Homo-oligomer: A and B are copies of this chain.
Amino acid sequence: MAAVFRVTRNALLKRKNNIDTACGLSRSMASKTPVGFIGLGNMGSPMAKNLLKNGYPIIATDLFPESCKELQDIGAQVVDSPGEVAERADRIITMLPSTPNVLEVYTGPNGILKKVKKGTLLIDSSTIDPAVSKEMAVAAEKMGAVFMDAPVTGGVGAASLAKLSFMVGGVEEEYQAAQELLTCMGANVVYCGQVGTGQAAKICNNMLLAIGMIGTAETMNLGIRLGLDPKLLTKILNMSSGRCWSSDTYNPVPGVMEGVPSANNYQGGFGTTLMAKDLGLAQNTATNTKTPIPLGSLAHQIFRVMCSRGYANKDFSSVFQFLREEEGQ
């Protein structure tokens, strides 16, 4: 490998100025330079569309040709590999299902880092292990590029409406450039700190969400069995110290709220499999940093057992149903 380009704060600032001078305009100016987008799944596709709507030319790729076709029809340029995207765009967003996909897209034989141009800004919105984000940042830095992690919360609906929340980790000097793109796709963009902290924030939130949801399901079930009306119990919890997002916004008990998965036989929403995946990430980061997470760990196991028992594709609030006595028992 040739001499490594070590990115320092000064170098970064200099690089940005050079780019601006070279292009004759800043990144935020009207005549927008193309943005690469890799991963056109349920989430990535509407995200890329929102960038197009905001006037950014898109150079896209995906494993599945159909996904590409749809975006091509509305004006995106489709290429064959992440490497080709990297040759043509100096800002690239990746939105991929899990860690192995990220490794492949960045470091694989046709990966981004094989062809990336110096000064390129790489934004990964996948939810993965923060340790892998850090590895990608180091690998990107060796190529003179900058890697940021920017995982999202909010589902497919929020992606379509550009209402996602982004939690961003990476070099602070690059945050503004990332923010420019992310605000086209989301309503909240929060800078969390060094690379990996975006993932950390997402993982932490989802772990506490999982704990709160199971806790709410257990509590509601116990209360009902002790003779309490579920709506009344919900009201009491929500005016008391038991209050949480799962009790006041996404109640898992059918009949308590409208417009949530529990009102629709746990269809839609956030699948148990996805929650189990995120808890697996929380578990791995906790294990690797020697951090005790007794409830987080048990929550992980509960959702894992649910996946084995037929709840994989139901919303994660179906844990209420899982814990409840079966009919006729």
Contact = CB atoms under 8 A, between A and B. Distances in A.
A236 B286 contact: no
Contacts of A232: 190, 192-193
Interface stretch (A2-10, A33-41, A112-120, A308-316): A308-316
A296 B219 contact: yes
Nearest to A282: B222
A308 B329 contact: yes
A200 B215 contact: no
Interface string A185-215: 0001010111011001101111111011011
Contact of A242 (B206, B214, B222, B291): B206
A167 interface: yes
Given A192-B232, A218-B292, A245 B245 contact: no
A244 interface: yes
A177 interface: no
A291 B218 CA distance: 8
A57 interface: no
Contacts of A205: 219, 236-237, 240-242
Interface string A301-319: 1101101111010000000
B167 A295 contact: no
Contacts of A309: 309, 322, 326
Interface stretch (A61-69, A101-109, A223-231): A223-231
A283 B218 CA distance: 12
Q: Output the residue of A220, A242, A305, A308 with the most chain B CB within 10 A.
A: A242
A301 B221 CA distance: 14
Contacts of A221: 291-293
A231 to B, nearest CB: 12
A308 B325 contact: yes
A196 B226 contact: yes
A300 interface: yes
Contact of A247 (B165, B194, B208, B247): B208
A212 B209 contact: no
Contacts of A194: 227
A228 B290 contact: no
A294 B289 contact: no
A18 interface: no
7 contacts: A193-B227, A197-B227, A207-B219, A211-B212, A222-B286, A291-B304, A297-B298
Given A197-B228, A308-B326, 14 more contacts: A190-B235, A192-B228, A197-B227, A204-B223, A211-B212, A211-B295, A212-B215, A214-B294, A221-B293, A222-B291, A222-B293, A242-B245, A297-B300, A308-B324
Interface of A: 130, 153, 165, 167, 188, 190, 192-194, 196-197, 200-201, 203-209, 211-212, 214-216, 218-223, 225-229, 232-233, 235-237, 239-247, 249-250, 276, 280, 282-302, 304-305, 307-310, 312, 322-326, 329
